[in-house]
């Protein structure tokens, strides 16, 4: 494989117990299940076999993304690289949906409205109250963050608006400089980034899926315009 001069590898964290039970996790700091750790290690072996090495990694502040990076890198020959974490790479905050599964949500609010919340771009779920334990102000991870920045709920649009400053100010300049980056984040955060890179509209992004634990290689031209998005998924290739 010939790698383009500018590239980036994205990966959604592997499965947690809440993922496996179809519970909405959001900003809840849940650790990976054994399956998630194994998926990340498999991703690392695949990337290493394809000749990928990294100068640095970027994660959210949620432990499941750091565990994904640690497990992935441990399966390669390049485990000792700087790892940077930012709340801007967090999953979107699901408000009152956090901790609930899809059946509970559909029963409470109806299937049609619920689908708008978890697949649509503009509609945020019902927000948590200021005194709700799910409010980020109760989490020491965000003690140093301006309280005005802490969401009670986020639409995909709000998640994207929170993410893009980190893309423009941190990730993009590093790629432009030739740095080889690994970014471990979450399903909606990566959907929002793919929407931005591919210039998708609010309807098209509803169909974007990001599989847990499967690396996505993004290749760019010198202007950092996306040339190609490739999944490194052995199972998909074998079935093709």
CB 180 within 8 A of CB 7: yes
Contacts (Cβ under 8 Å, ≥6 apart) of 202: 120, 121, 122, 157
Q: Which of 13, 93, 135, 186 is catalytic?
A: 13
- What is the separation, in whole angstroms, between the first and last Cα of the chain? 19
Please indicate whether residue 91 is annotated as part of the active site. yes
CB 128 within 8 A of CB 152: yes
Per the structure block, which two tokens stand in for 29? 């700091």
| Burial (0-12, 13-18, 19+ Cβ within 10 Å), 185 | buried
Half-sphere exposure of 29 (CA within 13 A, CB side): 15
Distances from the Cα of 45 to the Cαs of 19, 72, 107, in angstroms? 23, 8, 42
Q: Which of 15, 58, 91, 154 is catalytic?
A: 91
Per-residue DSSP letter, 142: G
Computed from CA positions of residues 114, 231, 47, 89, in that sequence, does the dihedral angle turn out positive or negative?
negative
Please indicate whether residue 13 is annotated as part of the active site. yes
CB 12 within 8 A of CB 185: yes
Maximum Cα interatomic distance, the chain, rounded to a whole number of Å:
53
Per-residue DSSP letter, 204: G
Q: Which residues are designated catalytic?
A: 13, 91
């Amino acid at each position: 494989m010939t790698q383009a001069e500018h590239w980036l590898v994205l990966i959604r964290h592997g499965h947690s117990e809440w993922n496996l039970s179809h519970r909405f996790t959001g900003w809840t700091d849940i650790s990976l299940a054994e399956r998630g750790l194994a998926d990340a290690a498999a991703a690392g072996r695949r990337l290493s076999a394809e000749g990928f090495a990294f100068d640095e990694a970027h994660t959210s502040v949620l432990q499941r993304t750091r565990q994904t990076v640690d497990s992935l890198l441990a399966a390669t020959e390049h485990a000792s690289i700087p790892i940077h974490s930012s709340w801007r790479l967090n999953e979107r905050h699901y408000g009152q949906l956090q901790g609930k599964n899809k059946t509970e949500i559909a029963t409470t609010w109806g299937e049609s409205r619920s689908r708008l919340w978890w697949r649509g771009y503009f509609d945020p779920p019902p927000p948590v109250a200021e005194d709700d334990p799910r409010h980020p102000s109760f989490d020491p991870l965000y003690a140093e963050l301006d309280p005005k920045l802490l969401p009670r709920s986020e639409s995909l649009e709000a998640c994207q608006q929170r993410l893009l400053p980190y893309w423009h100010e941190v990730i993009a300049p590093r790629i432009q400089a030739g740095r080889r980056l690994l970014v471990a984040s979450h399903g909606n955060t990566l959907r929002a980034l793919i929407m931005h890179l591919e210039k998708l509209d609010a309807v098209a992004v509803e169909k974007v899926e990001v599989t847990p634990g499967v690396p996505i290689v993004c290749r760019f031209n010198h202007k950092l315009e996306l040339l190609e998005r490739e999944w490194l998924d052995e199972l998909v290739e074998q079935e093709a």
